[in-house]
Amino acid sequence: MNARFTIGKIGGALVTLAFVLIFNFFLFRVVQTDPVSTLFRGRNIPQERLDQLRAEFGLDKPLGGQFIDYLEETAQLNLGLSYQSRQPVWEEIKAKIPATLALVGISSVLSAVIGTALGVAAAWRRGTKTDYGITTSTMLFYSMPDFWLGMLLLVGGAIATGLFPVGGMVDAGSSRAGIGRLLDQAHHMALPALTLTLAYLGEYAIVARSSLLETMKEDYLIVARAKGLRDIKVRNRHAIPNALLPVVTLSAINLGFVLSGAIAVETVFSWPGLGKATSDAIRGPDLPMLQGLFLLFSAAVILFNLIADLVYGRLDPRVRT
Amino acid sequence: MKRLILAVIVLSSLGAGSAAIASTNDQEVVLRVGLGQPWTSLNVTVGFEVSVYEIWNLQYATLTDKSAEDFSTIEGLAESWEPSNDGRTYTYTLREGLLWSDNTPLTAEDIAWTINTSRDQGWTNHVATTTNLDAVVIDDRTVEITSLVPDPKLPTMDVYIVPKHIWEPIAPDGEAVTSYEALDGVGSGPFVIEQYEPEQFVRMRANPNYWQGEPAIDTIVFQIFTNADARVAALQAGELDAIHDVAEESMATLDDDPNIVAIAGYQGGFDELAINGGAAEGQPHPALLDPIVRRAIGMAIDKEAVIEDVLAGFGEPATTISPSADPSWVPDIPEDEQIAYDVAGANALLDEAGYLDTDGDGIREMPGGGDNIVLRHGVNTDSNTYPAIGELFPGWMEVIGLGVELNSYDGGQLFEVIVAGDYDTFVWGWTPFVDPDPMLSYFTSAEIGNNNDANWADPDYDALYEEQNQELNPERRKEIVHEMLRLMYEAGVYYPLYYSPDLQAYRTDRFEGWIRQPADIGPVMFSNTSPSYFLLQPVGGAVGGGISPVVLIVTGVVIVGVIVLLLANARRKRASADDRE
């Protein structure tokens, strides 16, 4: 891969990140609100103390001054203190990353792998019952709102049968550690992960299916068959590798959104992830928390797009030229 | 497809496997409470949600307590107190042998340090009470508290007392205090924090050193279920013993269950229609400055319809604002003096005052002909209730010939609009404390631009506010407060629509002894001092967190199945590898 291509892509990503950094600050201040008044409404706090809190949050300064403070702090990798919890924003976010990463990450990988496999199977047996079965079922799940699918699974898997817990990430009553705790978390994660996996299967299945169908028209496959190769080898050696490019792009873009969480599904299953944290922070508004979360989300999307660009360049040499 | 099935099985078995490993101590009595609102901080100088007051009510005892019956001041950490002649100083005597949960003696030092430090550092949950107070240690069991101004709240001292030996070293200044996570679990109440998983749960264990004795329950788990339906389902399934914040539509279903009691608990919360009184810079429609128009608007509000259609019947029609969780602070307004629902009467008032619809478009104009009277109604989109009322409002106004323009805002934006005075009406709500002073203060002219969201200024109200704030005779103080509320009611700037309840439900087959605070009408939990938990007794030796045998059997079968599948798969792979070789 040539160095100029790589450097160009990385440079582009950095410029985008810098833009996001500046944009984030103003985005949450377009609508004029006073977070201190909102957060402390009806709490019977003397006026002097409220003014003091505004000063502590840096809200007494003009917008320009606040912006300079923000740039200085962010440059030192300091995302500030959350207005609501008064804990460092990074610590708050860091504590919630594993929950989201585990749930959305595992579901993304599962839906990508299973979805692609199903798409390939459907394309290879185009027009058969298998094709119709796969396409219909994956599209059915894909078109359901994910929170509704979640509620259905919740009713079936937790409420009616009692096989899975209704919500949360661990059993709050026990103090297990180690492997027991891990299994407990998996038990809690099964339903939300199943929901997200089913919800996103269709996306991969349909992309993989149409991409493979395109590839199957290519002349080199006819040559491969003419050489007398077995059907399975034609598929696995010649067709799939060439059909996978759009799937790679889709996976990379989706992985970028893994950290943003899944607000609706996290809420249905009381899963303590970043999606939930975002909706809570909007209410204040907890400006430092929002800035931190959006910076992280944007950085993840930019990073994975960059990775997709680079990987794509490697998989398909035509992109680099 | 096979792979999908396998993935599902693996996922389920992983989970089910853990259920099999899960085992709680059979002797432990665990109460599980489900709620929807997570905590942002358990630090008593920072947190603010209803959910966190419940934790502090259990962890930190107060100098004086409040009765479950009617909030009257009763003994707490202090067993007695004596006023000075001028009523500004009280000398409190602590109980003998008080201990923190870590066995450190609890002394007058802890009391004085909490009061004085919270005042100096402006702790947001303490400062309103302690701002004018000074506490002096006389000896280990005696503390003298003096107020700079006459304070009718004394001798009530209901601020959470924190352990000095834990907090003093981490609290050299205000900033250090607020960044403290406060998970030390050292308290003086019936339960103390044992484990906290943010956004998930708080587990509390019984404090054997609690001054009333050790509670019958060993552990309380407060668990977050952000999905209201899941909360209800978990209660029905027995996964939870009690739930807070039940959706109106679930109440009837829960009530049908013989082992569940669903209650509507009142503790003073209300929602109101506010009318811009014109004391801020932005002005209301000029018609609203006329008390007759404001009165006519009040007469056009159908409170019963709101309660039936929006709240599914869970609300009580309101007259004046309720400034306290204790209903005795609300004055009795005789029926013939109430501003009651009367559309014909409202129309007659407006006609008489010269607000006529001269151009026949259905909307009245200012007297003498002029522009149509169209009200800018702010809709707060932070709750489901306010937009629903916002849909009813134009209909109420239409029948008395007033136009309405609906503007939607979230709470923060609406607050800015209110402060600027750029609105005519909106619907929002309040939840009062037990002492009426804070709620009363919100409607003084000093609070315009802050809590006075009706932008209403009345010198008579302000004067009465100052008077009640220094009146040490409780009966006389109540009379003054009643007078203030009547004044506000008559002014027609703030029409409380209904007193809104907390909807809660609990199982009766595992614990008994839930009590309502205040008596008969209040909630059983998330109340002012949360007295239920200490009084709860397990029914017939209820123990916590068991897993049903059915689940265990199913789990076992699934695990065995998965192991067989995995083994089979591995063998097949090996076999095919052999073939290749």
For residues B169-175, give the mean pLDDT. Answer: 74
Quick check: B56 pLDDT over 90?
yes
Signed CA dihedral, A166, B383, B244, A168: sign only: positive
- CA–CA min distance B290, chain A (Å): 29
The Cα B92–Cα A205 span in angstroms is 74
- Residue B9's closest chain A neighbor by CA? A190
pLDDT band at B75 (very low <50, low <70, confident <90, very high): very high
What's the pLDDT score for residue A310?
A: 82
Do residues B446 and A46 make contact, with C-beta atoms less than 8 angstroms apart? no
CA separation, residue B249 to residues A152, B262, B314 (Å): 19, 12, 10
Q: What is the pTM of this model?
A: 0.82
What's the pLDDT score for residue B558?
A: 57
Do residues B394 and B425 make contact, with C-beta atoms less than 8 angstroms apart? no
The Cα A163–Cα A168 span in angstroms is 14
What's the pLDDT score for residue B156?
A: 92
What's the pLDDT score for residue B66?
A: 94
The Cα B581–Cα B573 span in angstroms is 13
pLDDT tens digit sequence for B400-421: 999 999 999 888 888 889 989 9
pLDDT band at B175 (very low <50, low <70, confident <90, very high): low
CB contact under 8 A, A159 and B233: yes
What's the pLDDT score for residue A91?
A: 87
Do residues A305 and A252 make contact, with C-beta atoms less than 8 angstroms apart? yes
User: Shortest CB distance from A170 goes to which of B124, B197, B219?
Assistant: B197
User: Shortest CB distance from A37 goes to which of B43, B415, B554?
Assistant: B415
Task: Map tokens 């992109």 to a residue.
Answer: A319
pLDDT tens digit sequence for B358-403: 888 999 999 987 889 999 999 998 888 999 999 999 999 999 999 9
pLDDT band at B572 (very low <50, low <70, confident <90, very high): low
What's the pLDDT score for residue B549?
A: 44
Quick check: B19 pLDDT over 60?
no
- Left if phi > 0, otherwise alpha if psi is -120 to 50, otherwise beta: which for B215? beta
Q: Which of A169-183, B187-201, B352-366, B479-493 has the lowest mean pLDDT?
A: A169-183
CB contact under 8 A, B233 and A110: no
| B327: helix, strand or coil | helix
Task: Annotate B352-384 with DSSP letters as a single string.
Answer: HTT---TTSSSS-B-TTS-SB-EEEEEEETTSS
Q: Which token pair is B410?
A: 């979230």
pLDDT tens digit sequence for B87-119: 899 999 999 999 999 999 999 999 999 999 999
User: Shortest CB distance from A86 goes to which of B18, B125, B178?
Assistant: B178
Give the residue among B6, B1, B9, B11 at the shortest CA–CA distance from A205: B1
Q: Please report residues of B whose CB lies closer than 8 A to that of A173.
A: 24, 30, 32, 203, 219, 221, 544-545
Signed CA dihedral, B542, B545, B547, B548: sign only: positive
Q: Quote the radius of gyration of chain A (alpha carbons, Å).
A: 24
For residues B439-462, give the mean pLDDT. Answer: 91
Determine the distance from the C-alpha atom of residue B125 to the mean position of all C-alpha atoms in its chain, rounded to a whole number.
14
Low-confidence ranges of chain A (pLDDT < 70): 1, 32, 42-43, 173-176, 261, 284, 317, 319-321
Task: Map tokens 């109604």 to a residue.
Answer: B377
With vertex at residue B481, the alpha carbon angle to CA B476 and CA B486, rounded to the nearest 5 degrees, is: 125
- Residue A174's closest chain B neighbor by CA? B24
Peptide bond into B518 cis (omega under 30): yes
Strands B64-66 and B537-538: unpaired
The residues, ordered by sequence, that sit 6+ positions from B368 with a Cβ below 8 Å of its Cβ are B354
Largest CA distance in chain B: 104
Do residues A256 and A104 make contact, with C-beta atoms less than 8 angstroms apart? no
What's the pLDDT score for residue B569?
A: 56
Size of the A and B interface in Cβ pairs below 8 Å: 214
Q: Please report residues of A whose CB lies closer than 8 A to that of B433.
A: 44
pLDDT tens digit sequence for B524-541: 999 999 999 999 999 875
Beta bridge partners of B136: B144
Q: Is the ipTM of this complex over 0.90?
A: no
Counting beta carbons within 10 angstroms of the beta carbon of residue B486, is it exposed (0 to 12), middle (13 to 18) or buried (19 or more)? middle
User: Shortest CB distance from B548 goes to which of A95, A162, A175?
Assistant: A162
Q: Please report residues of A whose CB lies closer than 8 A to that of B22.
A: 171, 174, 176, 180, 184
Give the residue among B529, B421, B504 at the shortest CA–CA distance from B190: B529
With vertex at residue A238, the alpha carbon angle to CA A236 and CA A241, rounded to the nearest 5 degrees, is: 75
What's the pLDDT score for residue B22?
A: 39
The residues, ordered by sequence, that sit 6+ positions from B107 with a Cβ below 8 Å of its Cβ are B94, B98, B137, B140, B141
With vertex at residue B441, the alpha carbon angle to CA B440 and CA B447, rounded to the nearest 5 degrees, is: 135
What's the pLDDT score for residue B326?
A: 92
Task: Map tokens 């000095």 to a residue.
Answer: B164
CB contact under 8 A, A185 and B24: no
Q: Please report residues of A whose CB lies closer than 8 A to that of B228.
A: none
CB contact under 8 A, B198 and A95: yes
Quick check: B36 pLDDT over 80?
yes
What's the pLDDT score for residue A71?
A: 86
φ/ψ of residue B514, rounded to 5: -60, 130
- 3-state per-residue secondary structure call for B197-258: ECCCEEEEEECCCCCCCCCCCCEEEEEECCCHHHHHHHHHCCCCCEEECCCHHHHHHHHHCC
Counting beta carbons within 10 angstroms of the beta carbon of residue A99, is it exposed (0 to 12), middle (13 to 18) or buried (19 or more)? buried
What's the first-to-final CA gap in chain B, in angstroms? 29
Of the two residues A232 and B523, the one the predictor is more confident about is: B523
Do residues B242 and B525 make contact, with C-beta atoms less than 8 angstroms apart? yes
pLDDT tens digit sequence for B24-34: 445 789 999 99
Q: Which token pair is B452?
A: 């006075």
Mean pLDDT computed over every residue of chain B: 87
Quick check: B573 pLDDT over 90?
no
Helices (H), B300-423: 303-309, 343-352, 385-398, 411-420
The Cα A251–Cα B386 span in angstroms is 42
- CA–CA min distance B550, chain A (Å): 9
pLDDT band at B227 (very low <50, low <70, confident <90, very high): confident
Of B2, B5, B21, which to mutate for an interface test with A (greatest number of A Cβ within 10 Å)? Answer: B21
Quick check: B557 pLDDT over 90?
no
CB contact under 8 A, B412 and A86: no
User: Shortest CB distance from B22 goes to which of A171, A193, A277?
Assistant: A171
Give the residue among B4, B5, B1, B18 at the shortest CA–CA distance from B559: B18
What percentage of chain B exceeds 70 in pLDDT?
88
What percentage of chain B exceeds 90 in pLDDT?
67
Strands B374-380 and B403-409: parallel
| Strand order through the sheet with B242-244 | B191-197, B201-206, B219-224, B30-35, B242-244, B502-507, B260-265
With vertex at residue B156, the alpha carbon angle to CA B154 and CA B161, rounded to the nearest 5 degrees, is: 120
Highest averaged pLDDT of the listed ranges A286-300, B362-376, B490-504, B567-581: B490-504
Do residues B91 and B142 make contact, with C-beta atoms less than 8 angstroms apart? yes
Of B40, B272, B453, B528, which to mutate for an interface test with A (greatest number of A Cβ within 10 Å)? Answer: B40
- Residue B552's closest chain A neighbor by CA? A163
The beta-carbon contacts of B65-70 under 8 Å, at least 24 apart in sequence, are: B65/B158, B65/B529, B66/B156, B66/B158, B66/B434, B66/B517, B66/B528, B66/B529, B68/B515, B68/B516, B68/B517, B68/B518, B68/B519, B68/B529, B68/B531, B69/B517, B69/B518, B69/B519, B70/B326, B70/B328, B70/B518, B70/B519
CB contact under 8 A, A172 and B178: no
Counting beta carbons within 10 angstroms of the beta carbon of residue A301, is it exposed (0 to 12), middle (13 to 18) or buried (19 or more)? buried
The Cα B218–Cα B194 span in angstroms is 11
CB contact under 8 A, B30 and A163: no
Determine the distance from the C-alpha atom of residue B90 to the mean position of all C-alpha atoms in its chain, rounded to a whole number.
30
Q: Please report residues of B whose CB lies closer than 8 A to that of A43.
A: 48, 124-125
Q: Please report residues of B whose CB lies closer than 8 A to that of A184.
A: 18-19, 21-22
With vertex at residue B399, the alpha carbon angle to CA B393 and CA B402, rounded to the nearest 5 degrees, is: 70
Quick check: B282 pLDDT over 70?
yes
Do residues A209 and A137 make contact, with C-beta atoms less than 8 angstroms apart? no
Q: Which token pair is A212?
A: 């493979």
User: Shortest CB distance from B221 goes to which of A173, A176, A266?
Assistant: A173
- Residue A122's closest chain B neighbor by CA? B1
Q: Which of A211-225, B245-259, B266-280, B334-348 has the lowest mean pLDDT?
A: A211-225
Quick check: B37 pLDDT over 70?
yes
| B134: helix, strand or coil | strand
- Residue A273's closest chain B neighbor by CA? B199
What's the pLDDT score for residue B290?
A: 94
pLDDT band at B299 (very low <50, low <70, confident <90, very high): very high
Q: Please report residues of B whose CB lies closer than 8 A to that of A197.
A: 7
Quick check: B561 pLDDT over 60?
no
Q: Please report residues of B whose CB lies closer than 8 A to that of A52.
A: 122
Q: Which token pair is A262?
A: 């899944």
